[in-house]
Amino acid sequence: MENRLPSPLGEDILTNHLQGVKQAEREGFEAGVKRGRNALFWIAVLLVLSQTLISYARQELTLQFLGLVLFFGTFFAAMGFYTHKRPFVALLAGTLGYISLWVIDLACGYARGGANMATGVLVRVAFTIFLIRALPAARRLEQLKRNG
């Protein structure tokens, strides 16, 4: 009986296949994070535009309100950019910030007599779903980046 060494060709094929599987898995997670990132950018843009235009139309636009709207818009845009570095942390902070902003908006609407409390509910629910569905992909992508 001869001692045979394993064929390097067979090992190369297996290694290449495993690398291909890992790359496909990573691309899938990156696509999920990209959807969450895009949701954060859309939230930032729509928040600034809608609140500014609505306040201007009602002649209630003040410098303080504009500063507050720009602060929140900048927060969501910053979280969108931060998803490149730490996707899970950025999407979690963006999701919690968006839900908190929604609760504050509902409380303010209730304090004003319930006016316009249901405005944009479908859009808000859709954005919340996009953000929540991106969280598992962001978590796995961060784990893959950490483990190499």
How confident is the model over 127-146, as pLDDT tens digits?
999 999 999 999 999 998 88
Supply the pTM of this predicted model. Answer: 0.80
Query: What is the average pLDDT across 20-31?
Result: 82
Query: What is the average pLDDT across 16-26?
Result: 76
Residue 70 pLDDT exceeds 60: yes
Cα(80)–Cα(94) distance, integer angstroms: 8
Cα distances from 26 to residues 32, 95, 121, 137, 138, in angstroms, run 10, 22, 33, 9, 10
Domain ranges in the chain are 8-142
Residue 54 pLDDT exceeds 60: yes
Which residues are CB-neighbours of 88 under 8 A, at least 6 positions away? Answer: 135, 138, 139, 141, 142
